Each structure stands twice: as structure tokens, then as C-alpha cells.
Amino acid sequence: SKTTFIFDLGGVLVESKPIEQMLTALDPPLPYHKNIWTQYKSGIIDDAKFWELTLEDTTYQLQTTAISSQMTNLWASQPATGTHKIVKSLKNSGYTLVLLSNHSDLWANAIIHKLELTDVFDAVLVSESCGMVKPNEDLFLHALDVVGKAAEECVFVDDKAVNIDAAMLVGIDGIVFENVDSLWDQLKVYLGDVDSTN
């Protein structure tokens, strides 16, 4: 039987905006460089270096700390999908909860804090500090290691089918997230008596 539920962050717990949209929403708007973002979320460069490289070919004289905190606030204000309520009720029912996100630690933790889930997750695994990015199967094996669970005990919820496929390759059941109601219906298959609203 299932003991552990692993949740993605963007597109599952909060509405997902691509990083390029987030950068253009800043004041001033900043350019998106795919390779810089890939390095950041993979843990190759840190937050300060990300901003330094992003600002490199602009004329802006900006403090990286100021623009970084503006971005952090922007991520934290992304609308919640309602999935956080399901996460809390699973926790109340004694399940192990894991967050697994392709993100920067700073931004992911800001969102989790805003959703009041800091104490709810048993493990928060962010690609930046893991040094691996979904759909890398090793990241799923690492998650299992961290919580000391077997793959067959776990269910993974993500909005991208490619990530679900990778989880299933290591033996973790997967649900492609569409909305809260359909997620709840699909979770019921694995659950005993859990109320979605408590």
C-alpha cells in the first residue's frame, strides 16, 4: 500500500508561469537565457551568479540582491491551485509528503512558505540543491533514498507527462495533474478514509 506522496511545485501547487514570463514581469523586465536558467536550476551556478549573468548584456545598474528579492516575491505571489489543501489533509492522515521541483531553492522555499507548507513536507527536494533535474531518473531514486521508501510505496503528482514517465520507469506510480478535483478522484484509488477538506 502507498505511504508516500511526492508533489511537483509549479503547475501543481501553484499556477505555473515559465521563467521567461517571470523575468519580463520584473521591473525592469529582464532577458531570458535558457542556458543560464538551466545552470541555475541544476545547481551549477547560484542565485547571485544567475542575476549577474542575466544582467550582463543589459544596461541596467541593478543590485542583484534587490532584483533577486523582487523575483522571490513574484514567485511567492503565484496563485495557489488548491492542491496545498490536499497535501495538508494527506499529512493529517499520516502519509509521508515530499516536494520534488525543478526550481531554485530560494524561490521554491518562498512559495512553500507562502502556502504554509514548510512543516508539512517531510522532505523538500529542489533540483538546484540536488544537482539534478527532472526527468532524470536518478533524481527519483535520490528522493526514495532521502525518505527511505521503496518505489512501490510512492505516488508522484506532476503536471508534465514526461516527468511522470521517468518516475514510472523507477517503479513509482504517477498522476498527471490537471486540476484539484480530478487529482482528488485519482488519489482516492490509493487512499483509505481521507477527507479532502480537513
The yes-or-no verdict on residue 192 having pLDDT over 90 is no
d(Cα 87, Cα 37) in Å, to the nearest integer?
A: 28
Cis preceding linkage at 135, omega within 30: yes
pLDDT of 197 strictly over 70: no
Q: What pLDDT band is residue 195 in, cutting at 50, 70 and 90?
A: low
Which residue carries 480537513 as its cell?
Answer: 198
Task: Over range 163-191, report the average pLDDT.
Answer: 97
Whether the upstream peptide bond of residue 28 has omega within 30° of 0, thus cis, is yes
Q: Encode pLDDT of 7-18 as tens digits.
A: 999 999 999 899
More confident residue, 93 or 197: 93
Residue 37 confidence (pLDDT):
98
CA–CA dist 42, 46 (Å, integer): 9
Global confidence as pTM: 0.95
Taking only the tens place, the pLDDT of each residue in 88-141 is 999 999 999 999 999 999 999 999 999 999 999 999 999 999 999 999 999 999
Q: In which band, very low, low, confident or very high, does the pLDDT at 185 lie, cut at 50, 70 and 90?
A: very high
pLDDT at residue 83 above 80? yes
For the stretch 25-56, pLDDT in tens is 999 999 999 999 999 999 999 999 999 999 99
Question: What pLDDT shows up at residue 194?
Answer: 63
Crossing angle between the packed helical segments 180-188 and 83-92, to the nearest 10 degrees: 30
The pLDDT, as a whole number, for residue 57 is: 85
Q: What is the pLDDT of residue 91?
A: 97
Q: What is the DSSP string of 137-173?
A: HHHHHHHHHHHT--GGGEEEEES-HHHHHHHHHTT-E
Please give the average per-residue pLDDT across 149-161, as a whole number: 98
The sheet that has 173-176: what strands, in order across it? 123-126, 96-101, 4-7, 154-158, 173-176
DSSP single-letter state for residue 123: E
Indicate whether 196 pLDDT > 80.
Answer: no
